[in-house]
Structure 1
Amino acid sequence: MHFFYHPAKNRLVEVIPAEDSSEDTIARVVQYCKQLGKVVIVCKDRPGFVVNRFFVPWLNEACLLYEEGHATPAQIDSVACEAFSIGMGPFALMNLTGPPIALHSTDYLAQQLDTSRYTGAQNLRDLVAANEMWTIGEDVDCDDETAKTIRERLLGVVFAVASQIVEEEICSMEDVDRGAKVGLRWAKGPFELMNEFGVDEAYRMAQGYTDLQGEGTGFKLPEFLQVKGQTGNPWVFEFVDAEIKNGIATININRPEAMNALNETVVAQLGALLDNLNDDSTIHTIVLEGAGKAFVAGADVKFFVDRLDENAFPKIYDFTADGHDVLSKLENSSKTTIALTTGLALGGGLELALSCDYRIGTRRTQFRFPETSIGIYPGLGGTQRTTRICGVNAARWAILAGNWIGPKLAADLGLLTHLVEPADVDATVDSIAENGKPSNKYTGAPVRMSEAVQAAVEFYSDENMGSIIVGQTPEGFNDDDSYAIRQIKQISRTAPIALRMASELIDVASSTNLEEGLAAELQNLEGIFATKDAYEGLSSLIQGRRPTYTNE
């Protein structure tokens, strides 16, 4: 296993199997890393593995740019930060992790990969010999031609080496990008950057870097990059894949850098995959899981804001309707469906899980419906399925106030069907698969009336809703009642229109069938997204500030 600096904070880990590593051993190591909250890339045992294979040459190329007199460290860092949308350039990063590490790593790659250009730059050697750090300075301005040279050299090395990684089948291009975004905290990975600049331009830059190699070098630019560049088409990424074993298909939503948030691509790929799996007679069970520490952390909020800015509500409706279709493929599947909600499941992610027959959780499980606090309501079946699982009052507690739901409380409510130790997850999946679909998925009442559940059910009773919906403490509760104070405080942070609409949709669930209730969610969609409060709430989340609602 290869952990990244700082291992306590950096979520990436590369898992490198040996030639004789069994599938079971690899699976156990990956599961262990996931239990640590890590994002896992399984890759071949090659020098540099994945991230350092392109990152270390990137650092050395920056040193060469300085050594050749093109620019200062400050100028190179500034151009790099702009080109890669990063917070620290190569020289600042070397100072952070230590120049000796950069020198050792690049010399190692030069030797192992027979690439002389990777040999540590002389200025880096001199710096390490003197036991010094880079002096970066503050003069970051440079002319356009210099900036172009820096940008194209640094992008070129990344594009060229990332292509080699894929050609050598060390890992997929999605994992290369994932490594850059999670391990290095780049805004976009190498292949996403190629799409941004144009694959034809990316090939030109990669070829330009390749032309800098000396005679007799082992560095070769993969031909497929040139072919792709000539087509003019961008790379297409797969964020959803499946592994099938003994009749169990495990779907992995693999977008951990965004906590597996649902966007148009993920929804479309998940829907297409479910169609294939539902039609496969050899499969009896479908398991959904998310890469990294989250199952799925809701829908991509930026998508909603961008569409509102464009005055393009129909695109929001279509995206949500497509989401309903995908969840219906789970709801109505003849297969046994299981969501591995062993981490965060928020908003749309929790709605996705609730469309499954079963939900397995561990001590790390955390659920929440945050929608009313960001100006909207759960629009992918949250108001309907939650109510049918745990009853109207408990659904009000979960949805209207957006209370956090820990693993035990989720199990008491019935939102989790199985709460197990992390080591028992696989065995639980096998047991569920053997027993098949539940006899009654929607019981309409909590599984256990624990103290916390009892308090929620009593507080959010029909009699109290008139006061709660306007942010007032209901009769029968003292002003100093800590539970009532906490709930009303939560309610006060919600958008009033979203709160009312969510409450009405929960009531709809108690008097309709599921199909009618889901249709009601879609019918009210335009009404909620037309409000000023919806735009304010969604925008505030992106901007990292507290919203100010006007009930408009």
Structure 2
Amino acid sequence: MSDTSIEKLAVIGAGNMGSGIAQKMATEGFDVTLVDLDDEKVQRGLEIIRTTLAEGVERKIFRPEQVEAIQSRIRGTADWSDLADVDLVVEAVFEDLDVKRNVFERLEQVCRPDAILATNTSSFLVSDLGDTAKHPERVLGLHYFYHPAKNRLVEVVPGKQTSEAATRAAWTVQELIGKTPIASADASGFVVNRFFVPWLNEAVRLLEEGVADIATIEWAAQKTFGVGMGPFELMNVTGVPIALHAATTLGEHFGPLYAPSDRLAEQVASGDPWPLDGEADEAKLQTVADRMLGVVFYVATALVDEGVSSIEDTDIGARVGLRWPKGPFELINRLGTAAALDLVKGVTARWELAVPKLLAEQATSGEPFHFELVRRTTRDGIATLTINRPDAMNALNEAVVGQLHEAFKAAAADDAVSGIVIAGAGKGFIAGADIRFFVRNLDAGDLDRIQSFTVDGHELLHDLSHCDKPVVARLHGLALGGGLELALACDRIVATPKAVVAFPETGIGIYPGLGGTQRTPRRVGTGLAKWLIYTGQMLPAEQALQIGLVDAVVPYERLDATIADMIATGIEDRQRGETPEPWQPLEELFDDHAVESLRSGGVEVDDEKLAKAAKKVRFKAPLALRIAEKLIDASARTELDAGLRMELDHLHEIFSTEDAYEGLSSLGRRRPEFKGR
């Protein structure tokens, strides 16, 4: 979160990394200045961006007009004086400490004293640069991962003298450009490379020692870690010399375990990629898996022990930055802490290292590692509860609902807290309930667990809506399904212009079951509630404000101040106003016609936009639509609590349908085919 308005960005270095960072910033709406030593290098960087964007058009990621807009926001220059008015600069030149220090020296000459100066270094400490700066309080690390226009991870690394304000502002910018930031202390390798590079290095050691050949190690790593590419193929793709350089740097800081194997240096000297041919020897799976898991478990628990990062951010780093299905601590929990400790003892005995205290204590307890999925921060009397599952778009599952409820009750009971804010980490608020939870339990035939989860959700939302203290939903990015329902249970909803709300449930075979059919019509009326729920229409924040679904839309940099003012001045009971005139035809269409008429195409509409809205209903699940209609209609003649009980009463019915399984299990893979049964 930030109190600072950051509008103009710059990147130094127009190579692959720098151009990718600039492209991502411009894609998210920022004006960016791309700087290099001369016009030739600048033009090369701009050409890299043009090529990448053209590939995006071919893959239908971008439309041509979007590409034109992105490119218009990028200005290439070799004139460093053009940086005089930028708010944040990212240095992305090659890994040479003297060169980087020269860049920062020049930046201090041309940038404003309050401009934030960030380095994308992967080899050096932030303090190596900040300690020589005139204003070290504004110097920090922003370590992006390749390809920075596509990979969402960024490590935010304050140096020894970096101010809290600069760190907050830089973090805010990362969320605004669609990145998933994780926090790292200023230590060599930061978080992800600290365990990823030893993972690569251990694979080469296994080869060097004759334990297994490349084909076997590749196959075993893919199977053990659930990844698409093994360590040798990854090194071929990213560059074998980069692995050598990274291992050398880590070895200098942390000792022989991290230092590159001789075989890695030999491969770099040969100039050849690793040969990937051959058949895997499946008999060696366990041996390879144990070695590679042991190293990852040792390094991950050691870096958390040292305070470099948290277990949550370490795992987020693995899932987002490396695309591992499970992070190191999830893998430890899957194996068991005692078994993980045994693997780590094999590493520590071999390299004469101490077992990380964190793992030793956890194994002694016999319990798995606990993940804090809801963070609480309190500032000026306002408690902000942030759901921290950014790589899952903060989707609600049993653990999240339970932890959020406990955190909320603690904040509500805290006399030092004057108001409570519900927020989501990363680029979104809450993208609904975790669909995988529903599918797993449908496969297991456990509808009671789905019912229990939903009841727990209702109890949480009941407490949100009945709290004596103001409760505000802080919306940025997607607020879908259960996420929007949670927001509607709050006293107020404050959104940024990039917020988008929707009820996608009827498109996946179910209906909104956390109050969506009851609280929505009380906010916007039954007609617009039916339109939103029947169609799953994605509604931008400004339109949501027009119909009264959200209470305020403000720029991101004013989001927290607006919420604070709202809490300070007190929140009165909301009175629903009249539907704005432009929305009345849509309201009347859905109020005046039964859902079956809309679904069957039996409603003739002359207006093109209204006809398009009505047509969307035809592609939704028939049974879910009928129940939704019944529940929304009931909202007009029942008390809220009675309507909420009706939602729960129909859960078993809807989740028992073939349409529910079809919609939930096909999500993200194909368009569902609903049968009405």
Classify the TM-score, shorter chain.
Answer: over 0.9
SS in 2 for 1:110: helix
Note if contact 1:321-1:522 (Cα within 8 Å) is conserved in structure 2.
yes
Match of 1:133 among 273, 281, 285: 273
The answer to whether residue 581 in structure 2 is matched with residue 443 in structure 1 is no
Q: Which residue of 2 is the match for residue 546 of structure 1?
A: 671
Distance 2:659 2:414 in 1: 45
Q: Which residue of 2 is the match for residue 121 of structure 1?
A: 261
Note if contact 2:305-2:357 (Cα within 8 Å) is conserved in structure 1.
no
Distance 2:224 2:527 in 1: 52
Q: Which residue of 2 is the match for residue 331 of structure 1?
A: 465
Note if contact 1:540-1:547 (Cα within 8 Å) is conserved in structure 2.
yes
**Runs of 4 or more off by more than 6 Å in structure 1?**
none
Match of 2:402 among 240, 264, 268: 268
Shift in Å at residue 454 of structure 1? 3.4
The answer to whether residue 653 in structure 2 is matched with residue 512 in structure 1 is no
The answer to whether residue 208 in structure 2 is matched with residue 78 in structure 1 is no
The answer to whether residue 218 in structure 2 is matched with residue 89 in structure 1 is no
SS in 2 for 1:221: coil
Match of 1:48 among 150, 164, 189: 189
Question: 1:26-65 maps to which residues of 2 (within 5 A)?
Answer: 26-65=167-206
Q: Which residue of 2 is the match for residue 394 of structure 1?
A: 528
SS in 2 for 1:77: helix
Distance 2:364 2:379 in 1: 39
Q: Kindly provide the amino acid, as one letter, of the partner of residue 205 in structure 1.
A: L
Q: Kindly provide the amino acid, as one letter, of the partner of residue 77 in structure 1.
A: E
Question: 1:172-251 maps to which residues of 2 (within 5 A)?
Answer: 172-213=310-351, 219-251=353-385
The answer to whether residue 289 in structure 2 is matched with residue 142 in structure 1 is no
Distance 1:69 1:525 in 2: 57
Shift in Å at residue 474 of structure 1? 1.8
Note if contact 2:601-2:615 (Cα within 8 Å) is conserved in structure 1.
no
CA-to-aligned-CA distance 1:201-260 (integer Å, 9 cap, x gap) = 1111111122232x6xxx432133123223332112110120011110011100112111
SS in 2 for 1:116: coil
Q: Kindly provide the amino acid, as one letter, of the partner of residue 305 in structure 2.
A: E
The answer to whether residue 602 in structure 2 is matched with residue 498 in structure 1 is no
Q: 1:119 to 1:474 in 2, by over 3 A?
A: same
Note if contact 1:127-1:134 (Cα within 8 Å) is conserved in structure 2.
yes
Q: Kindly provide the amino acid, as one letter, of the partner of residue 240 in structure 2.
A: P
The answer to whether residue 599 in structure 2 is matched with residue 461 in structure 1 is no
Q: Kindly provide the amino acid, as one letter, of the partner of residue 404 in structure 1.
A: M
Note if contact 1:473-1:484 (Cα within 8 Å) is conserved in structure 2.
no
Q: 1:140 to 1:362 in 2, by over 3 A?
A: farther
RMSD across aligned positions (CA):
1.6
Q: Which residue of 1 is the match for residue 438 of structure 2?
A: 304
Shift in Å at residue 304 of structure 1? 1.5
Match of 2:542 among 403, 408, 430: 408
Q: Kindly provide the amino acid, as one letter, of the partner of residue 357 in structure 1.
A: D
CA-to-aligned-CA distance 1:80-106 (integer Å, 9 cap, x gap) = 111011111111111121111111100
Distance 1:252 1:465 in 2: 40
Q: Kindly provide the amino acid, as one letter, of the partner of residue 292 in structure 1.
A: G
Q: Kindly provide the amino acid, as one letter, of the partner of residue 357 in structure 2.
A: E
Q: Kindly provide the amino acid, as one letter, of the partner of residue 671 in structure 2.
A: R
The answer to whether residue 590 in structure 2 is matched with residue 471 in structure 1 is no
Q: Kindly provide the amino acid, as one letter, of the partner of residue 587 in structure 2.
A: V
Shift in Å at residue 186 of structure 1? 0.6
Match of 2:554 among 400, 420, 423: 420
Structure 1 unaligned runs (5+)?
Answer: none
Q: In terms of mean alpha carbon deviation, does 127-136 or 35-44 score higher?
A: 127-136
Q: 1:466 to 1:120 in 2, by over 3 A?
A: closer
SS in 1 for 2:416: coil
Q: Which residue of 1 is the match for residue 252 of structure 2?
A: 111
Distance 1:343 1:20 in 2: 32
Q: Kindly provide the amino acid, as one letter, of the partner of residue 443 in structure 1.
A: R
Q: Kindly provide the amino acid, as one letter, of the partner of residue 279 in structure 1.
A: A
Distance 2:320 2:584 in 1: 41
- Looking at both structures, which has the greater relative contact order when contacts are Cα pairs under 8 Å and sequence separation is at least 6? 1
SS in 2 for 1:340: strand
Note if contact 1:163-1:221 (Cα within 8 Å) is conserved in structure 2.
no
Q: Which residue of 2 is the match for residue 2 of structure 1?
A: 143
Distance 2:463 2:259 in 1: 54
Distance 1:473 1:457 in 2: 18
Shift in Å at residue 487 of structure 1? 2.2
The answer to whether residue 243 in structure 2 is matched with residue 102 in structure 1 is yes
Q: Kindly provide the amino acid, as one letter, of the partner of residue 153 in structure 1.
A: R
Q: In terms of mean alpha carbon deviation, does 425-434 or 51-60 score higher?
A: 425-434
Distance 1:287 1:22 in 2: 24
Q: Which residue of 2 is the match for residue 487 of structure 1?
A: 613
Structure 2 unaligned runs (5+)?
Answer: 1-141
The answer to whether residue 463 in structure 2 is matched with residue 340 in structure 1 is no
Shift in Å at residue 466 of structure 1? 5.5
Note if contact 1:375-1:537 (Cα within 8 Å) is conserved in structure 2.
yes
Q: In terms of mean alpha carbon deviation, does 223-232 or 74-83 score higher?
A: 223-232
Shift in Å at residue 470 of structure 1? 3.5
What TM-score does the superposition give when structure 1 sets the normalisation length? Answer: 0.94
SS in 2 for 1:289: strand
Q: Kindly provide the amino acid, as one letter, of the partner of residue 550 in structure 2.
A: L
Shift in Å at residue 370 of structure 1? 0.7
CA-to-aligned-CA distance 1:141-178 (integer Å, 9 cap, x gap) = 2142x221211111000000011011101111111111
Question: 1:513-528 maps to which residues of 2 (within 5 A)?
Answer: 513-528=639-654
Q: 1:466 to 1:110 in 2, by over 3 A?
A: closer
SS in 1 for 2:599: coil
Shift in Å at residue 467 of structure 1? 5.6
CA-to-aligned-CA distance 1:349-391 (integer Å, 9 cap, x gap) = 1111111112122221111111001111000001111111111
Match of 1:282 among 401, 405, 416: 416
Distance 2:609 2:366 in 1: 60
Shift in Å at residue 438 of structure 1? 2.9
Q: Kindly provide the amino acid, as one letter, of the partner of residue 355 in structure 1.
A: A
Note if contact 2:319-2:325 (Cα within 8 Å) is conserved in structure 1.
yes
Q: 1:71 to 1:444 in 2, by over 3 A?
A: farther
Distance 1:455 1:74 in 2: 64
Shift in Å at residue 494 of structure 1? 0.8
SS in 2 for 1:339: strand
Q: Kindly provide the amino acid, as one letter, of the partner of residue 601 in structure 2.
A: Q
Note if contact 2:143-2:156 (Cα within 8 Å) is conserved in structure 1.
yes
Note if contact 2:156-2:181 (Cα within 8 Å) is conserved in structure 1.
yes
The answer to whether residue 655 in structure 2 is matched with residue 529 in structure 1 is yes
Q: Kindly provide the amino acid, as one letter, of the partner of residue 347 in structure 1.
A: G
Note if contact 1:389-1:445 (Cα within 8 Å) is conserved in structure 2.
no
Q: Kindly provide the amino acid, as one letter, of the partner of residue 576 in structure 2.
A: T
